[in-house]
Structure 1
Amino acid sequence: MKPSTHRPTKAVINLQAIQENIKQFKKHVAKETEIWAVVKANAYGHGADSVSESIDTLVSGFCVSNLDEAIELRSHGVIKPILILSGIVPEDIHIAVNLRLIVTVPSLDWFKLVAQHLEDVEVEHFNFHIKVDSGMGRIGVTTIAEANAIIALADEIGANFNGIFTHFATADEPSQDKFLDQKEQFDTIVAGLTRRPTYVHSSNSAAGIWHKETVQDIERLGDVMYGLNPSGRVLEMPYKITQALSLISELTHVKEIAAGDSVGYGAEFVADKPTLIGTVPIGYADGWTRNMKGFDVLVNGKRSPIVGRVSMDQITIALDKRYPIGTKVTLIGCDGDEEITVDDVAAYRGTINYEVVCLLSDRVKRSYHDVSET
């Protein structure tokens, strides 16, 4: 889907904020470790190509979810290491190796399948990290024996074992019991390897923030890089971060309805008095989900409630006075003394800030600035 460039709805990305968030994290950790930026899911909705280009000098590598995301980065000139965090289709191993990508080995069975598809592969450039399932329950090895069997097979076929990692399930929660259990299991498997690889890593944003003593050779920096607290509002950030994304649009229609008139599908909103209604071109097809009915947006520094159901392409809001067509509407960000944060939206939806930004669809144009737009 192409961005709707002729529509006033856009996500404004402050690249300078992302850069500064990386620098602040480095100061927080205060140790020598490589930062690998997690730019999966279109850089958490911020735009993978532009974000990667803007932070290239600040990081040592990048992490993505799948092969296609890695191909996109390479096609846009990223030459630094790229780790694909999930297992790829075994038959596609030649693509990953030819592009000098680092693949994740999630199991011995998967690796055996890959070994059957190496006829057109320059195996000397086949680099991989073993994923350990220390308690997340998705993918990864669970025993020392399986990890060492993968290493043995790699030696047999000539592939390069240069990393091992895990992912914590509860690093952003107050209780440390599960976190410590996972850490112990991961450390035990690493200690039992026939040899240590170049990279041992377990820290996502949350672990790096609240368990910085566990940061090893690589920090996989994701949510916090974009100025978002990985715990939402559960744990307080130990240092300052700046939210990088704003979501803005404009009024495209303004009218007054009479008492008793309805607005939107299902006629759920019925005015109890003469009401000024503004229409804004954003809807659930853009990632502004239907459950945002009743939430506020900002117009002229004031809060205006969303009335009626959120449609696929438009929302309607109640205005305090008649504004001209083209008046700015802020859905996420600052306007005057008022602010709506990603966490505000997440709390209203009953979800997490990750989901809010990742749901912004491709038809929402991304606009990039080095300073915050007001």
Structure 2
Amino acid sequence: MINDRPTKLIVNLDAVLNNYKKFVKLAGDKKVIAVVKANSYSLGADKISELLYDNGARYFAVATLEEAIELRKKIKDGLILVLGVTNPLNVNYAIENNVSLCCPSEDWLTQAISVVKNNSKLKVHVKLETGMNRIGIFDKEELRHVDNLLKSEKIIFEGVFSHFAQADGENNIYDNQQIDKFNDLLSTFTKKPTYIHLDNSAGTIKYHNCHADYQLVRVGISLYGEYPSSNIEKLYGIKLDTIASLVSKVTHVKRIKKGSKVGYGSTYEAKEDEYIATIPIGYADGLFRRAQGYKIIVGDELCEIVGRVCMDQLMVRCSENIKVGDDVLFFGEYNNKKLSIDDFADYQNTISYEILCAIHTRVPRVYLSNDKEI
């Protein structure tokens, strides 16, 4: 298959491994769950999971049962946890693939037990609601019923977990409320599971010296070189290696007259005679129209995206020095140049997670190891 367009997302596998090792060291006695949901935030779960597994990782988390079953084809042993809610009618697929499921409620567990085949056992991690108000159990009476159901011969009570809502924030007030709620709910269980986990990427960085009675931490966005927030980057000093770089090349350059309009809706008008360069990436690739006005690196220049971003192309204002074939960097590191994905996200009033996950599959992923494409 040819890749005619020069647009690509470069993924540095050495940097992924470096970040994983940093969190393994930071976590101390706790084991690191590598969160590889959404195709490793669109960076390629197959490649990344295989790399981590080959380097000792045995704990993984995904969002859906489908992702878990696909991952099990690569990861032959070790824990794979589905963080989201699985249809309880499908729990036998989890058992067949040695996948652990999230138990979000008493009703879910009751139905799951009724579906599990005889002489089979379903591994579950009970989700506790401590302040995110997304999924999980917060009522102690319901939790007591769940505790009783966990004694079923069809269930392996493998874990209990919750999720921080504000660990990337400027203070720890809400974190502490969640921790207190989590520990209070934990006391309801008559038997403790193998694994207790609460910390996400931000929580792992902030509280790596705490929670000695927990066994796991879950690292997602920071595994991929991005900080959960600028607060975490500034306050806690951990240095992450950049993983992802979105690059392209100039495909067309033209000189336009003062007053000429650019793009759909003619939202940009040249204030003087100007040069416009066209780059083959657009909102169908996951680079959205809200990026209009942002400045990217074209050749050796910082150039503003002008006019509306099109479905497959966009335009920038540049100097007469820009030529067809010049390199373009949207974010990441490329040819000794660097642009922050967080700045790119902030400009669009979003977060790096969304920027990465939005990059469409028609943008080829190019993997680097030892500075060479593999």
Q: TM-score range by the shorter chain?
A: over 0.9
Quote the offset at 1:24 in angstroms.
1.6
1:198 matched to 2:197: no
TM-score by length of 1: 0.93
Matches within 5 A, 1:1-374: 5-29=3-27, 31-56=28-53, 57-119=55-117, 123-124=120-121, 126-212=122-208, 213-214=210-211, 216-233=214-231, 236=234, 237-334=236-333, 338-371=337-370
SS at match of 2:152: helix
Q: In structure 2, what residue type is equivalent to 1:41?
A: A
SS at match of 1:330: strand
Aligned mates of 2:276, 2:372 — CA distance in 1: 26
SS at match of 1:116: helix
SS at match of 1:164: strand
Q: In structure 1, what residue type is equivalent to 2:62?
A: V
Quote the offset at 1:131 in angstroms.
0.3
Aligned mates of 2:70, 2:82 — CA distance in 1: 12
Larger CA deviation: 333-342 vs 185-194: 333-342
Q: In structure 1, what residue type is equivalent to 2:304?
A: P
Structure 1 residues 65, 318: CA separation in 2 closer, same or farther (over 3 Å shift)? same
Give yes or no for contact 1:172–1:235 (8 Å, CA) kept in 2: no
Unaligned runs of 5+ in 1: none
Unaligned runs of 5+ in 2: none
Q: Deviations over 1:114-145 (max 9, x none)?
A: 223224x6523x11110000111011111343
Q: In structure 2, what residue type is equivalent to 1:251?
A: V
Aligned mates of 2:2, 2:144 — CA distance in 1: 50
Q: Deviations over 1:29-60 (max 9, x none)?
A: 3x211111001111112111111111112422
Structure 1 residues 109, 54: CA separation in 2 closer, same or farther (over 3 Å shift)? same
Q: In structure 2, what residue type is equivalent to 1:166?
A: S
Quote the offset at 1:248 in angstroms.
0.4
Give yes or no for contact 1:93–1:117 (8 Å, CA) kept in 2: yes
Q: Deviations over 1:152-188 (max 9, x none)?
A: 2232342101110010111111221111111011111
Q: In structure 2, what residue type is equivalent to 1:108?
A: E
SS at match of 1:356: helix
Larger CA deviation: 227-236 vs 261-270: 227-236
Root mean square deviation, CA, Å: 2.0
Aligned mates of 1:40, 1:143 — CA distance in 2: 28
Give yes or no for contact 1:205–1:222 (8 Å, CA) kept in 2: yes
Larger CA deviation: 138-147 vs 12-21: 138-147
Aligned mates of 2:73, 2:321 — CA distance in 1: 48
Aligned mates of 1:197, 1:72 — CA distance in 2: 26
Give yes or no for contact 2:249–2:280 (8 Å, CA) kept in 1: yes
Aligned mates of 2:205, 2:221 — CA distance in 1: 11
The structure whose RCO (Cα within 8 Å, separation 6+) is larger is 1
Give yes or no for contact 2:242–2:333 (8 Å, CA) kept in 1: no
Among the aligned pairs, what percent are the same residue?
34
